Amino acid sequence: MWTEIICLLISFAIAALAGLFVIPVMRKLKFGQTERDNGVESHLKKNGTPTMGGWIFLIPMVAVTCVYAIIAQDPHFTILPCVAVLFGVVGFIDDYLKIKKKSKDGLRWWQKLAALTVVSAAFAVYMQFFSGHAGATIGFMFLGTNHEISLGWFYIPFIIFMLLAESNAVNLTDGLDGLCAGCSAIVFIFFALVSIYLIPDSTVSIFSAISVGALAGYLIYNYHPAKIFMGDTGSLALGGVLGAAAIMTNHPFLLFFAGLLFVFEALSVLLQVGYFKISHGKRIFKMAPLHHHFEKCGWKELTVTYVFWIFVAVCCALTFIFAKGF
């Protein structure tokens, strides 16, 4: 446990320092956010705020984990930061194209999907053949009892689907100051505790602790009013690596319940788009994703963020309790 705490504190310090350099660089390069004209009116004042801030927490995630891997003489520790960086690179390209075009449109949907699928497939192959984990088997933990099921040939497609779904769900959650980073940090705390007390796995526990510290350092600059946004560089990286960490615990469905907010955010978009098409223009929500619906209902941005943080914390606590048993 002390190792995780030390890694967390070091990661926090690096992220806090990184922000002092990243933000001026993004401003100098004029890498500013472009808000939607038909979005929440109060967000229009955020136009021009530096984006691509995901590098603030990706730097310590990679640096601290790789140093620990060298000290521990275990190259397997580097797999999660590799996943984060590769998903982040896809997001970086998307962010760069948005800035260049000065619009909300970056990569075409099929280009982004193809790139993320390649990264997800590479991780799936690693897990199947090189990780030393449970192969094509996944577990279900309930009240301290572990049940396992073999997916066989569906194991690799399952991992690909999970990483794609999680990266897009977390990406959709990134819409308010501090929302995505705070929710992700809480879920990483959950996985740190799970991999220490329920399913011992130092690879996940160390990386999760490092991620909590990195995101806490990033929140210094992203808390309302945000001085920088993470962009797809950060949100795709967070979603991809959360999915990968859940897979490495061999209990991926823990993420479904602990990160239920991400599921609701993604579902709100799917339901909104689907209903809009079949009803010829009608809407279920005032605006999707879900956090914007509450803003349109009159909630202040910080109120939505706090309520969503609390919801995620409750989901994580209940998931941990029901997995461990009373």
| Amino acid at position 273, single letter | V
HSE-CB at 236 with a 13 A cutoff on CA atoms is 24
What does each C-alpha distance from 104 to 4, 33, 94, 95, 97 come to in angstroms?
A: 38, 9, 10, 9, 9
Q: How many structural domains are present in the chain?
A: 1
Domain limits for position 267: 2-324
Is the bond preceding 252 in cis, omega lying within 30 degrees of 0? no
148 strand-pairing partners? 139
Q: How many CB atoms lie within 10 A of CB 320?
A: 19
SS3 of residue 32 by DSSP: strand
| Residue 109 neighbours by CB under 8 Å, 6+ apart | none
Q: Which two tokens stand for residue 263?
A: 């599921």
Question: Mind listing the pLDDT tens digit of every residue in the chain (326 residues)?
Answer: 889 999 999 999 999 999 999 999 999 888 877 666 555 666 666 777 899 999 999 999 999 999 999 999 988 899 999 999 999 999 999 999 988 877 777 889 899 999 999 999 999 999 988 877 656 888 888 887 888 888 888 999 999 999 999 999 999 999 999 999 999 999 999 999 999 999 998 999 999 999 999 999 999 999 999 999 999 999 999 999 999 999 999 999 999 999 999 999 999 999 999 999 999 889 999 999 999 999 999 999 999 999 999 999 999 999 999 998 76
Is the bond preceding 225 in cis, omega lying within 30 degrees of 0? yes
SS3 of residue 29 by DSSP: coil
Q: How many CB atoms lie within 10 A of CB 281?
A: 7
**DSSP track, 104-154:** S--S-HHHHHHHHHHHHHHHHHHHHHTS-S-TTEEEEEETTEEEEEE-GGG
Rounded CA-CA distance 186/179 in Å is 11
C-alpha R_g of the chain: 19
Measured at the CA of 191, the angle between CA 89 and CA 246, to 5 degrees, comes to 60
Q: Which two tokens stand for residue 131?
A: 């990780």
Measured at the CA of 261, the angle between CA 258 and CA 266, to 5 degrees, comes to 125
> pTM of the predicted model, to two decimals?
0.95
